[in-house]
Amino acid sequence: MKSNLKLRSNVYVRLPVSLRQDPQYRSKVRGREALRTLLNRIETYDTTGRAERWLTEFQLKEWYNVARCGDCEEQVFGPVRGDGVQFRCPRGICPHRH
């Protein structure tokens, strides 16, 4: 039987430069709170257009999409790559759990 597991790592070795000069590293950050921390380390003040200056197109979709599940009202999570950005319900009890 052939395994369907793949070895992946969430560790990324940064270049010895500032976050502003490391777009490869910045593009790996996911999750709204992690994106907020990244932006706060790049620019201290929450200025207009800060997210657009530093985040990728995919990260911007995640940044601006703060939605709640239509069935159970929990805040949705995850990006799932595919056709656009999809989100899953975190509770796992409604039809949108997968």
Q: Is residue 82's pLDDT more than 70?
A: no
* Cα angle: 29, vertex 92, 8; to 5 degrees: 35
| Residues 26 and 55 grouped into a single domain | yes
4-52 residue pLDDT tens: 777 777 777 888 999 899 999 999 898 888 898 999 999 988 888 899 9
Mean pLDDT, the chain, whole residue set: 77
Q: CA-CA distance, 64 to 67, in Å (whole number)?
A: 9
Q: Is the pTM of this model over 0.75?
A: no
Domain coverage including residue 85: 67-98
- The residue ranking higher by pLDDT, 11 or 60, is 60
3 domain-assigned: no
pLDDT-based confidence at 85, cuts 50/70/90?
low
| Residues 78 and 93 grouped into a single domain | yes
98 domain-assigned: yes
| Residues 35 and 60 grouped into a single domain | yes
| Residues 60 and 26 grouped into a single domain | yes
| Residues 78 and 51 grouped into a single domain | no
Q: Is residue 81's pLDDT more than 70?
A: no
Domain count, the chain: 2
58 domain-assigned: yes
Q: Is 71 helix (H, G, I), strand (E, B) or coil?
A: coil
72 domain-assigned: yes
